[in-house]
Amino acid sequence: MIQALRELPANGTSYEEIQGNELLRRQVARWSTNWGGKLRASDLITT
């Protein structure tokens, strides 16, 4: 826990973008091609 607090920006107390975690949205968009989807990270919102 202490290591995570040291390594996270703003010690883990900052908010992410309103659409959700950008890395997660990019990964989901990339995986969507496996089932024939054509999603872009900007098409997704994570909560």
- Please report whether residue 30 resides in a domain: yes
Q: How confident is the model at residue 11 (pLDDT cuts 50, 70, 90)?
A: low
- Please report whether residue 2 resides in a domain: no
Residue 17 is predicted with a pLDDT of: 78
- Please report whether residue 35 resides in a domain: yes
- pLDDT above 80: residue 32: yes
Q: Report the percentage of the chain scoring pLDDT > 70.
A: 81
- Please report whether residue 36 resides in a domain: yes
- Asked if residue 46 lies in contact with residue 19, where contact means CB atoms within 8 angstroms, the answer is yes
- Distances 15 to 10, 18, 36 between C-alpha atoms, Å: 9, 8, 32
Q: How much is the pTM?
A: 0.64
CA 10, 12, 16: angle at the middle one, nearest 5?
A: 90
Expressed as residue numbers, the domain containing 24 is 18-47
Per the structure, how many domains does the chain have?
Answer: 1
Residue 5 is predicted with a pLDDT of: 66
- Asked if residue 41 lies in contact with residue 31, where contact means CB atoms within 8 angstroms, the answer is no
